[in-house]
């Protein structure tokens, strides 16, 4: 966010003001400023920016902070070598970004867990009460069912036999 604000400020203040000075014939000295678009691209750019890599890592079943930092080091640091740098080799979960204002070191410890967006329990409960049957079905929490034969003690790990199912000999019991 700070990089985008800085970019907006730079474009508004420097570029537009200098264009206005030129169009009005004002005598002024040109001001050069550092364009921070490469920094924004290194953070947001698809597919190798830090944020897209983080998002894709969170979608992977085995996604982790370790695989994320490896991808940042292998992809983003190679794609944007003036912006993203590997940290000290002893700091295995870290990388550095040359921001507009300063170089900042980031530790990805916990990035993937914090970036996952599980639905809040209240939202799930609300969706489960939806008037739209498909939505209600998708968000209704199902309780595990244990099948118990009608006569005798349950057979450990055994499902009802075909004969029991056909005769209605098995009964369902919700475990809550």
pLDDT of amino acid 68: 96
pLDDT by residue (tens digit) across 123-159? 989 999 999 999 999 988 777 666 665 665 555 555 5
Q: Respond yes or no on whether the N-terminal peptide bond of residue 82 is cis (omega within 30° of 0).
A: no
pTM, two decimals, is 0.62
Contact 37, 15 (CB under 8 A): no
CA distances to 9, 47, 57 from 71, in Å = 32, 11, 9
Tell me the mean pLDDT in the region 47-76.
Answer: 93
Cα atoms found within 13 Å of the Cα of residue 22, Cβ hemisphere only = 8
Report the alpha-carbon distance of residue 6 to residue 43 in Å, rounded.
Answer: 14
Considering the domain delimited by 36-115, tell me its CATH architecture: Up-down Bundle (1.20)
Is the pLDDT at 92 greater than 70? The verdict is: yes
Report the alpha-carbon distance of residue 121 to residue 123 in Å, rounded.
Answer: 5
**Which token pair is 65?**
């902070």
Q: Does residue 48 or residue 144 have the better pLDDT?
A: 48
Where are the domains positioned within the chain? 36-115, 121-174
Nearest to 99 by CA among 115, 82, 87: 82
Would you give the distance in Å from CA 87 to the centre of its chain? 23
Q: Which helix (H) or strand (E) holds 53?
A: helix 50-59
**Which token pair is 103?**
């170089």
Tell me the mean pLDDT in the region 64-71.
Answer: 95
């Amino acid at each position: 966010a700070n990089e985008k604000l800085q970019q907006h400020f730079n474009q508004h203040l420097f570029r537009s003001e200098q264009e206005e000075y030129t169009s009005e014939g004002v005598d002024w000295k040109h001001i050069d400023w550092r364009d921070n678009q490469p920094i924004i691209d290194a953070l947001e750019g698809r597919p190798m920016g830090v944020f897209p890599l983080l998002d894709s890592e969170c979608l992977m079943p085995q996604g982790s902070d370790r695989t994320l930092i490896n991808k940042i080091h292998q992809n983003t640091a190679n794609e944007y070598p003036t912006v993203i740098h590997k940290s000290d080799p002893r700091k295995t979960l870290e990388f550095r970004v040359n921001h507009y204002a300063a170089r900042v070191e980031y530790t990805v410890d916990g990035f993937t867990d914090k970036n996952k967006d599980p639905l809040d329990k209240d939202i799930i409960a609300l969706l489960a009460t939806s008037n739209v049957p498909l939505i209600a079905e998708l968000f209704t929490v199902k309780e595990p069912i244990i099948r118990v034969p009608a006569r005798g003690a349950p057979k450990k790990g055994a499902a009802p036999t075909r004969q029991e199912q056909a005769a209605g000999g098995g009964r369902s019991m919700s475990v809550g």
